[in-house]
Amino acid sequence: MSNEAPTQPEEAMITLEGEDGQSYTCQILDIFDFEEQSYALLLKMGGEKEGVKGAEDEEDGSLVIMRLIERDDQSIFQTIESDEEFDKVVAHVEELARMNEDEGEGDE
C-alpha cells in the first residue's frame, strides 16, 4: 500500500487505497520519528463500502501505522512489510501512549 497526500500540516484527513482497491478515509492522529524513520498513526474512519449502501467496514475505527516518506513536497504512506519493524514501532507507540497517560494523571 503506497499513497500520496499533500504535506500541509492543517490537513488531518487522508484517503488511502488498499491492496483490495478500496479507498479508506483516515484521520492523521500523529506523525513521529522512530529509529531514523518517520511514521504516521492513523485512525480509519467510518464509511460505506462500494456498492453496499449502509455497510460499514469491520475495520472502521481501527488504528493503522504506516511508514511516512517525504518526497518532492509530498508525503507518501507505505505499509510496513517487516513484522520485526512493525512490532518495534507498535511497542514504541504503546510506550508513547503510556507516557502521555502518566503525564495526564499528574494534571488532575
Query: What pLDDT, in 10s, does the model give residues 40-83?
Result: 999 998 654 544 444 455 567 889 999 999 999 898 999 999 99
Give me the domain span that covers residue 76: 2-80
pLDDT of residue 55: 46
Query: Which is more confidently placed, 20 or 106?
Result: 20
**Coil/strand/helix, residue 6:** strand
Tell me, yes or no, whether 98 lies in a domain: no
Phi-psi map region of 43: left, alpha, beta (phi>0 left; psi -120 to 50 alpha): beta
Whether 7 is covered by a domain: the verdict is yes
Q: Indicate the number of domains in the chain.
A: 1
Does a structural domain hold residue 15?
Answer: yes
- Bridge partners (DSSP) of residue 56 are 48
